[in-house]
Structure 1
Amino acid sequence: MSDKIGPFLGTWILDAAESEFEQGDPPKSATLKIEDNFGMAVFSMNTVSADGEVTNDSFEALPDGPEVKLGKSGLVDAMRLVFDGDDKLVSEARRGGLTIMKATRELSTDRQTLTVTQVVHLVDVDSFTNVSVYKRAQ
């Protein structure tokens, strides 16, 4: 995997007070872990919702690699992960060739804050943007 992924690797803790959600209630807490698994970027998320429900999810993709077909999700059928410069890592989830979710992960200059701007497009309804601000775990 390229050295470009290095600054993104690690464990990130949600700063709910700094985050803004248009869709859904902000979680009570969330942890994002980004790891390198033999060239694949592995994203593991643990979220505790406002009402205490715990959700664990993960996905992996090859940065700047080809679009990956997905089978387990009923919402999307493919995704891709690309770098946008050195400080942004963008994933796009697609269904039927249309991007329905785009998440841009942007590192701060000091590499201690990761801002994830997620835009969800609900077909024939509207688009929503959630901005989650994560601090690097020490």
Structure 2
Amino acid sequence: MTEDKLAPFLGTWILDADESEFEQGDPPKSATLRIEDNFGMAIFTMNQVAADGEVTNDSFEAMPDGPEVKLGKSGLVDAMRLVFNGDRTLVSEARRGGLTIMKAERELSEDGRTLTVTQTVHLVDVASFENVSVYRRAQ
């Protein structure tokens, strides 16, 4: 059941930098997001070229609508969860000490060709920042 909900999100997505809006930091020159299904586990792989040319590769995996995953390697966050919010929105929350400090909502367009990722970062006692990245499905 969960795999069927995940299926429309699977594939390679390419950042449309002109359509994206960043409150924190500069939009990257280019970025790709790959979402794969590994026996019900969602694997996210992000590759990005920053405005200054620095290349970043990152990945994480989580079970959609599964239990919170404890993270040990990062000092910034200690847990992650991935949940569906309806059929067209997949939300990940990075948590520290039980508080959500970063949330990414991935909303799929009606036609399944555009993925809008709204990432909200909560800086404790400072402010919240929202970056909206628009991705187009790779052909």
What TM-score do you get using the length of structure 2 for normalisation?
A: 0.98
Residue 50 of structure 1 is matched in structure 2 by: 51
Letter in 2 for 1:4: K
Q: Measure, in 2, the Cα distance between the counterparts of 1:57 and 1:109.
A: 28
Letter in 1 for 2:76: L
Structure 1 segments, 4+ long, off by >4 Å, are none
Residue 14 of structure 2 is matched in structure 1 by: 13
Q: Measure, in 2, the Cα distance between the counterparts of 1:69 and 1:28.
A: 32
Identity over aligned pairs, percent: 84
Report the aligned-residue RMSD. Answer: 0.6
Instruction: Please show how residues 26-65 of structure 1 align to structure 2 within 5 Å.
Output: 26-65=27-66
**Partner-residue secondary structure (3-state), 1:7:** helix
What number of residue pairs does the alignment pair up? Answer: 138
Q: Deviations over 1:58-102 (max 9, x none)?
A: 000000000000011111000100000100000000000000001
- Alpha-carbon shift at residue 125 of structure 1 (Å): 1.0
2:77 is aligned with 1:70:
no
Letter in 1 for 2:120: V
Q: Measure, in 1, the Cα distance between the counterparts of 2:74 and 2:22.
A: 23
What TM-score do you get using the length of structure 1 for normalisation?
A: 0.99
Residue 136 of structure 1 is matched in structure 2 by: 137
Unaligned runs of 5+ in 1: none
